Structures are given as C-alpha cells and as structure tokens.
A and B are shown apart, each in its own frame.
Chain A
Amino acid sequence: MNQMTKQKPAKKAVQKPKAATSVKAPVRLKEHIVEIISDSGEGAQKCGQSLGAIAAQMGNGIWTTEIIPAEIRPPARSVAGASGNRIRIGSGYITNGGDETDMVVAFNEQVLLGRVRAKELKPGCTILLEDMWRTHADPKIVASYIETHDALVKAGYKVIEIPMERECRTMVADPRRGKNMYALGMLCYIYSLELKLAVDQIVLAFGKKDQSVVDSNIMLLEAGHKWAAANLDFCYSIPAVRSTEPQLVVNGNTSLALGVLASGMEICAMYPITPATSASHYLSEVFEKVGGMVHQAEDEIAACAFAIGASYAGKCTVTITSGPGYSLKQEAIGLAVMGEIPLVVVNVQRGGPSTGQPTKMEQGDLMTAIFGSHGDAPKVVMAPGTIEECFYSIITARKIAETFNMVVVVLTDAALATSQQPFPRPQFNESWMAPPVDQSPVPAGAKPYDWDDTTGLARRFIPGQPGGMHTLTGLAHDRDSHVAYDAEINEQTLRFRSLKLAALQKTLKAPKVFGDPKGDLLVVGWGSTKGAIEEAVEMLRAEGKKVSSLHLQFLQPMAPGIKEILQGFKKVMTVESNWSDRPDDKIIDESNRRYSSMAILLRSRFLIDIDCFSEVKGQPIKPGTIRRVMLEKLKK
C-alpha cells in the first residue's frame, strides 16, 4: 500500500519536468560501450541493433556484438539468460568490441548479475535498471531485486532505477512489446542521436506489419526520449563525421551469405548448426528471389557430399557449417581433395571440442582445417578478419577453388558471425562470378588428370564435355583416372596435389605489417582478433612502444615474405582464441608445453622462437587484455 502511494507521485513527477527541462550540455566522448540486456523475447537485441544502425547513420564508428543465451527460452530472470546487444560507439572507425562496458540498460536485475559476474562491466559504470521488480507481487522477487540493487550500489556502480514498465503501461496494454523502443528512445537522448533516424528504423522494421504497430512503437520511442530528457542528469555526444561513401551494416554471417550470392554460386548445401545457420537462412530467402537453392541435407556428411556432387557436375558449391559438422565432413573433404573437385567449405567456429559452447566464439579449428582428413590432404585455408573480409573472402575462395581445383576452407567464428561493423558498400563486379559450365569437347588424347609437372595443375573435365568421359575416383589414380596399383603413381600424385598449394602461394602478396616493419615486439593473429590486436598495438605505439602486428588471411598456404617480417622484431608472439598451456602451470615446461595453433605453425615453418598468448573464454579477447599481455612480454 505504501509502495503504491509512493508510485503515483513518481508518475506525476515524470510529466511535470517536461516543461521545465533545462537543456543539459552533453558531455563529449570519444567513444562509449553500451549494452541492452533482457530475458529472451523482450526485444533487447532489436533495440541494440537499431541503436547501432542509428549511430552508424549519424556517422559514428560502431561494433555491435550479440549477447546470446545458450538456450532458446532460458527461464525468465535467470543469471545465464541475458539476451541483448552490446554496442561500441566511437567518433572514428571501430574495429572490435572493445573492453568493458560503460553503461547498461537492464530489464531485470538477474540478467544484469550475469554480466557483472562475467566481468563484462566496467567497475562503477552506469546501470539503467528497470524498477518494476521493486513493487512485484512476489516477495521473493522483490527481495532479490533489492538485494542485487543494494549490492551493486555498494560496489560502486551508478545504478539509476527506471520505471520503463510503468511508463509503457500508461500507453500500451502489453509493455513486453514495445518496451525495447522506449529504451531506444532513452538511449537516443543519452547519446544525442537524431530521433528521426530511430523513427526510420521502426518504419523499416515494422512497416510491413501494420500502421498501428508502427504508431505505437514510435509513441513509446518518443516517450522514452522525453522521460530521459526530463529525468536524467547526464547526456553524451560522440562527435561523428558522416561518411561520404555508402556504408553497409551487416553481421559476419550475412556478409558471408552476400559473398556467396556475389560469387555466382547457386547451391549451398547445409545442415542446421549453431552459429553458422543464420548465413543459410539468409541465403534461402535470397535464392528464392535471385535463383539458386539452399539444400538442407539429412546430415552434415550428406551436405558435403551433395556439394561435392554439384561441384563435380560443374557448379562450384558451398557448404556452411561449424565445428562438429566440420568434423563430420572430413572424409568427404578428403574425397574432394583426391578427386580435385573445387569446393568451398565455411566453418563458423564455435567452442569445442565435442558440442562445446555452441554460441560462443573460439579459434580452435585451425589445425583441423589444415590437417583434417586422413592422409596428406592439402587444402587452402583462409580466415577473414573483419565483417568486410567475410564478404570478399567467399568470392576469392570460389575463384581459388575453381582455378586450382581445390577445397578452400573459410574459417570465421561466432564473434564475426554475430557482430556488425559498417564497411564500404561493395560494388558488384562481373569478374566475381564463375564462368558458365564448360561443355566444349575435350581435345582428342587429352587426359582427365594431365598434371603440370611444375604447378601440379590439371584441366578438369566436366560431365557433358564430349570426349572427356572418365571415372573420378577417391582411389589413387593415374593421369587417365585409372585406379593406380603402382606405388610410384601414388607418390607422384601426392606431389602434384601438394604442388598446387605452392603454385597458389607464388601468387600471394606479402602481408602488410600494422605499425613499423621493425621493432621490439610483433603480435601475429588471424581471424576475428584483428581489430582488438590492432587497437592494442595502436595504444602501445601511442605510448612510445616499438610494437607492431601482422594479421594473416591466408593460413594455408602462407604468403611469401613472412619470415623476413618476423625477423624484423626482437620478440614475436601470437594472440589466439584457442588453447595453449600456461607456462606458469606446475608441470608445464618447454618440453611439454602445447602452443596455440598459429604459434605451432609459425614455429615449425620459420624455426623462430615464437611465444603465444591465448584466452578461450568464449568471448572476443579484449584490446585491453592484449595490451597488458604485450607489455608483460616486452618486460620479460
């Protein structure tokens, strides 16, 4: 009763200051990290995505990261159930998710607690907390809310209780639908973003439904904005320069799918697996419009075999999967290697081994990608390091697959898959596409595997080509594709298939060093760690340290010129998100320490004593962590 009476004046207080709002000068920031979290299904993800898109339209650099619970419907108000989005907004170009969060909007205190325990929040950061739980009918919930609230305040967080539910209820019957837009309105005020851009986002998202949904969402958006203006004693501005070029804002999986479309590939064979599936979802819809098909096979092996069949018949095909699926495909990949069938395999890496952590990022499959499948099965392995590279790497992969008749593995990960970062809108180029299927007659006497002695390359005969009839086989075979019973032939053909990697390597350019080409410490990375590594290098260089980084996109074969780069530095280390033994563990020493994947590869290839730092927490490694590790390495 007491609480109820308390509530009413609060409501009025909301209305009153509207007229009396004094314009607060926004505090100028270089960048800020904000996250919006709720139970799943409450729309925090949508709110975050919209905020990111609005900031990008304002010209800010952004990097958004999805916060995804492992289950479809975790119990409401559970510590492990946080669902939402984390947006890093900056004045300049943003290359990664950054360090700890500066501000949180939380729809309940339990999901917030999960983030606090995961050490994702900056100590003392601002928390905008839904206050409906303080007056909840269930005394247990009330107690839990108060306990958490008080503990956070005591721990030094700046907790601001927000009556989102109550305010929304004055306008709509079910605040579960639309509360996220109220939060978006508040955030637009806090970050001095144009409200009109948010209205545009709502029209874009709900425009197809009906006008009443659009109207109600806009009403909540504006209400959130007004409430924040009237009741918050702070606001920020992150100066932005609008880009002069159109920018694309998509996540890594959408970028991959767009790359598949742009590469001219018409068939994607897949089996559902987290976190890869959303790329295929997107393609399924696009192919309906543009022509092409996504084949959801009965299993991962069938998906790979189907892709191999289609590629063999002349249409280079992609299969998209993640760790467990990638393991299942190994025998089929070996067949494509042996038969020299072009094939693009995407592995959106997740935590492993086994089922591991399906929704979390890891870079644990590099060795499997390079050495997977029994026997010597040379294949090309590439790893895009940015959302933009996800798009272009697929186009390159298709081209290499068809030029060299090889399997090309593209490694991304759960972090790239779900993050968004604007990049210049691609301009379609016809040369990205595969030429039409060759159906010209094969010259008399030509052989299906007429390997070139220098490059190992052979022209491939495609079904339909008169005179090219032969049986492709996974058995060792000679130039006629006849089964080779002669041990000599087996060794020769191993050589030819291996030479193709060297032939490709000769066409690659030396990678560019980020920073000076010589110095005290070089950090080598691959894949999604690119932005964080480069940011750490930038910070340390600004502090006068002689550090640089090298990011490898081609992991097999490795580009020429790497050894010379490594030799320009006193110390070299890799930073990776796959396991390496900790040197300070009691029984770990130089004779038994297992290094991170890239470190092993570089050490064995270049005979240089390369150290590694790895963190396998299912989250992208933070630039602050890398900076600290680099400083320690410099001191050693």
Chain B
Amino acid sequence: MNMMSDMNSATACLLQMTDEHFQLEDYQSGVPRWCTGCGDNAILAAVQRLCRDEALRPEKTVFVSGIGCSSRFPHYMKTYGFHGIHGRALPVAEGVKMARPDLTVFVNTGDGDCTSIGAAHWIHAIRYNMNLTVFLHDNQIYGLTKKQASPTSPIGTKSNTTPRGSYLEALNPLTVTLGVQNVSFVAQAADWIPEVLFDIVKAAYHHRGLSFVRIIQRCPEWLPKALDPWMHDPNKVLLLNHANGLQASAGLSRVYKNQIEHDPLNIDRAREIASDTETIPVGILYNNPAVPCYEDLRQSDKLRTADLTRAGLNAELDKYTVWPQGAEQKVA
C-alpha cells in the first residue's frame, strides 16, 4: 500500500515535470539598469522568451558573464548566474559545464570582454567547442568605463582615448571565430531586427557545441549614430537563408530585400560573407553539428564512488609501497 502511494507520487512528479510551464516572469529578475534604447534590452527580451518557450528549468540554467554593461545580464535573469571578472566569462563557463554537463550554460560577454581582455579565452573556447551558447554583445565601444574605443570600434571612432578618431581597422569577430579550428556555430544578429534575433538565439541554443552569436547592438549613450547607415537602409543588411538555417518570413522580406541563400555548412562561403563590412550579414553563417564537444571527449565513464577512489588509490599506492618482509600485498 505504501509502495503504491510512493509509486503514485513518483508518477505524479514525472507528470508534473513534463507538464511544467513557465511564464516570462519566471525568468525576470530586477529592473535592468541599462540605458533606454540599449541593445541589451532587446537581447534580454529574446533570451527570456527562449527560456519560456523551451521551458528551461530556472535552477538548471546558468548565465555566466564577465564585466561590462552586457555582463550585468545574469542579474536580470531569475536563473543561476555568475557575474565574474573582466574577460574570464568563458573559462568560468567551461568549468561549470565540465563539472555539470546537466546544466544549460549561457555566456554573455561584450566586445571589450571577449575580443580584448579575454581574447585568448575566446580563441580557445571556440577550439574546446563545449556546449555553451555565447552571446557577444557588440556595441563597438566601452560603455561602463565611459566611452573608450574597443577592438571592434570602426576606424575613426572618436572616444575618450581616441579624441581624433581611432587609429586601427576594427577587428572582425566573425572572421576571427571562423578561422579557429573546431568552430561549430557562428551567427550574427542585430538588435533592431528582433524577429531574426530571436530565431538566431533559438538556433544557437539548439546547437550542440559552442554557438557563437555576435549581436550588433546600439549604444545610445556613447555611439548613438554609429549604426544609423545600416538601420536606415535595409538594403545594407544581408539576410542569410537556407533550409538548414533560417528562412526570412514574408513580413521580414518586405523590408529586407537583400537576401541570399547560404548553406551553413559551407565554411569558405561563410568566411567570405563574414568579410563583407559594407553590409551587415544577419543569419547563420556556419553550423556544423559534427564537431565533437570537449566535455564529451573528457567526460569520464566512471562515477567516482568511494569504492572506486579506494581501489584507485590503493592501486597507485601499491606501486610505491615498501612492504615489511612477509607482509606483502596484505593491505585491503
């Protein structure tokens, strides 16, 4: 009788799990302190919608970030969050994922965080290809420290450290990422096209491996006009369509007529598209689900129980033990 009721409650629990629904409010925490019109708000809305649609369990979801405006992101999610130090979001997220592959791990990082101070980790994170969804919030400027040029600032950007305009050509995060061995997913979105932003966030989440999403976003405070040429001329946006990627909706196609077919498995073409700085390609540039994930390669098939530890330790100790005469190998 007791057993029956146990089984019933177990079944009920299972049913409850599969039947669980979440509302947007279940993922919302605090009032974002980003500026009005900041692209981060659009990213937050898309990600919260993704969590609701995919019914991600809040306690099994972790958002890891570094430092910068974008890295405040986890504070506004009602999931687990890790707001760490500048540039190191990726290695922290890798540690989380390696220890706990059961957790869904997202990374929010800015252009300074990822492509400058954390650049080494970025390259290697692509190579490890762990199952992480990485959002590069790229507003082409340091915001939190008040307007310094970042590696992705277009040449000539006037900032507090480059009052006469920045000196160097901007770093292109897409070509860099696409140049790293083991790259498995690269996409680009723009904060002012929320429909595609959401579709890309969703595709990135479903990709198994490191999905790298560069989101071009506006900074209304420090570079309010920088993206105007692209925002005001839809033809300067290039939508990437493919049966294995995204398909522009009819509504979207009425505004964004500049579209091409691009097979996300074609890395050479992806690199060509990524190199174009006149137009902003939006969509999935590359998606190869066959690249192995580091955590799968490194995950042990052994559950480290006390017995296994004891046996393993004793086997090692045996190699280096000097036994008293006549008592060899008698230790349990």
* Chain A residues whose C-beta falls within 8 Å of the C-beta of B62 in the assembled complex: 313, 463
Min CB–CB distance A118 → chain B (angstroms): 30
* Chain A residues whose C-beta falls within 8 Å of the C-beta of B331 in the assembled complex: 246, 425, 427
Contact for A247 among B81, B98, B321, CB less than 8 A: B321
A291-B302, A292-B304, A428-B313 known; A301-B91 Cβ under 8 A: yes
State whether A309 touches B59 (Cβ < 8 A). no
Give Cα A470–Cα B62 distance, bound, in whole angstroms.
Answer: 10
State whether A470 touches B298 (Cβ < 8 A). no
State whether B84 touches A474 (Cβ < 8 A). yes
Tell me the chain B residues, 30-87 only, with Cβ under 8 Å from chain A. 30, 58-60, 62-64, 74-75, 77-85
Min CB–CB distance A543 → chain B (angstroms): 34
Verify if B242 is at the interface (C-beta below 8 Å from A): no
* Chain A residues whose C-beta falls within 8 Å of the C-beta of B310 in the assembled complex: 428, 430
State whether A471 touches B83 (Cβ < 8 A). yes
Give Cα A30–Cα B313 distance, bound, in whole angstroms.
Answer: 35
State whether A471 touches B88 (Cβ < 8 A). no
Tell me the nearest residue of chain A to B331, going by C-beta: A246
Verify if B290 is at the interface (C-beta below 8 Å from A): no
State whether A312 touches B314 (Cβ < 8 A). no
* Chain A residues whose C-beta falls within 8 Å of the C-beta of B82 in the assembled complex: 309, 312, 339, 471-472
Verify if A468 is at the interface (C-beta below 8 Å from B): yes
State whether B99 touches A313 (Cβ < 8 A). yes
Verify if A317 is at the interface (C-beta below 8 Å from B): yes
Per-residue contact bits, chain B 284-323, to A (CB 8 Å; 1 contact, 0 not)? 0000000000000011111110101111111111001111
State whether A244 touches B95 (Cβ < 8 A). no
Verify if B124 is at the interface (C-beta below 8 Å from A): yes
State whether B99 touches A314 (Cβ < 8 A). yes
* Chain B residues whose C-beta falls within 8 Å of the C-beta of A430 in the assembled complex: 306, 310
Min CB–CB distance A64 → chain B (angstroms): 13
A291-B303, A302-B121, A335-B84 known; A286-B59 Cβ under 8 A: no
Give Cα A248–Cα B97 distance, bound, in whole angstroms.
Answer: 36
Give Cα A266–Cα B298 distance, bound, in whole angstroms.
Answer: 12
Give Cα A313–Cα B306 distance, bound, in whole angstroms.
Answer: 20
State whether A258 touches B317 (Cβ < 8 A). yes
A425-B321, A433-B309, A463-B100 known; A471-B316 Cβ under 8 A: no
Contact for A309 among B29, B58, B92, B320, CB less than 8 A: B92
State whether A469 touches B88 (Cβ < 8 A). no
Tell me the nearest residue of chain B to A475, going by C-beta: B83
A286-B316, A471-B75 known; A306-B83 Cβ under 8 A: no
* Chain B residues whose C-beta falls within 8 Å of the C-beta of A286 in the assembled complex: 312, 316
State whether B96 touches A261 (Cβ < 8 A). no
**Interface size of A in residues (CB-CB distance below 8 Å):** 74
Contact for A305 among B59, B95, B103, CB less than 8 A: B95
Min CB–CB distance B78 → chain A (angstroms): 6
State whether A261 touches B313 (Cβ < 8 A). yes
Verify if B120 is at the interface (C-beta below 8 Å from A): yes
* Chain A residues whose C-beta falls within 8 Å of the C-beta of B304 in the assembled complex: 264, 266, 290-292
* Chain B residues whose C-beta falls within 8 Å of the C-beta of A305 in the assembled complex: 84-85, 88, 91-92, 95, 121
Give Cα A474–Cα B102 distance, bound, in whole angstroms.
Answer: 25
Verify if A368 is at the interface (C-beta below 8 Å from B): no
State whether A422 touches B95 (Cβ < 8 A). no
Give Cα A374–Cα B253 distance, bound, in whole angstroms.
Answer: 54
Verify if B94 is at the interface (C-beta below 8 Å from A): yes
Contact for A244 among B63, B99, B312, B324, CB less than 8 A: B324
Per-residue contact bits, chain A 256-296, to B (CB 8 Å; 1 contact, 0 not)? 00100110101101000000000000000011011111010
Verify if B93 is at the interface (C-beta below 8 Å from A): yes
Tell me the chain A residues, 548-566 only, with Cβ under 8 Å from chain B. none
Give Cα A339–Cα B82 distance, bound, in whole angstroms.
Answer: 9
Tell me the nearest residue of chain A to B121, going by C-beta: A302
Tell me the nearest residue of chain A to B57, going by C-beta: A466
State whether B99 touches A267 (Cβ < 8 A). yes
Verify if A111 is at the interface (C-beta below 8 Å from B): no
Tell me the chain B residues, 238-261 only, with Cβ under 8 Å from chain A. none
Min CB–CB distance A295 → chain B (angstroms): 7
Verify if B327 is at the interface (C-beta below 8 Å from A): yes
Tell me the chain A residues, 232-269 only, with Cβ under 8 Å from chain B. 242-250, 254, 258, 261-262, 264, 266-267, 269
Verify if B325 is at the interface (C-beta below 8 Å from A): yes
Verify if A464 is at the interface (C-beta below 8 Å from B): yes
Verify if A473 is at the interface (C-beta below 8 Å from B): yes
Verify if A128 is at the interface (C-beta below 8 Å from B): no
State whether B95 touches A313 (Cβ < 8 A). yes
State whether A292 touches B300 (Cβ < 8 A). yes
Tell me the nearest residue of chain A to B60, going by C-beta: A464
Verify if A311 is at the interface (C-beta below 8 Å from B): yes
A244-B324, A247-B321, A315-B99 known; A428-B59 Cβ under 8 A: no
Tell me the nearest residue of chain B to A335, going by C-beta: B85
Tell me the nearest residue of chain A to B76, going by C-beta: A471
* Chain A residues whose C-beta falls within 8 Å of the C-beta of B74 in the assembled complex: 471
Min CB–CB distance A555 → chain B (angstroms): 26
Verify if A332 is at the interface (C-beta below 8 Å from B): yes
List 14 other contacts, CB 8 Å, given A254-B320, A428-B309: A53-B322, A242-B324, A246-B321, A250-B320, A261-B313, A266-B99, A290-B312, A292-B304, A293-B298, A305-B121, A309-B92, A313-B100, A335-B84, A473-B81
**10 cross-chain pairs, A with B, having the tightest CB-CB distances, nearest first:** A309-B95, A471-B81, A291-B302, A290-B312, A305-B91, A310-B99, A291-B300, A310-B95, A309-B92, A306-B95
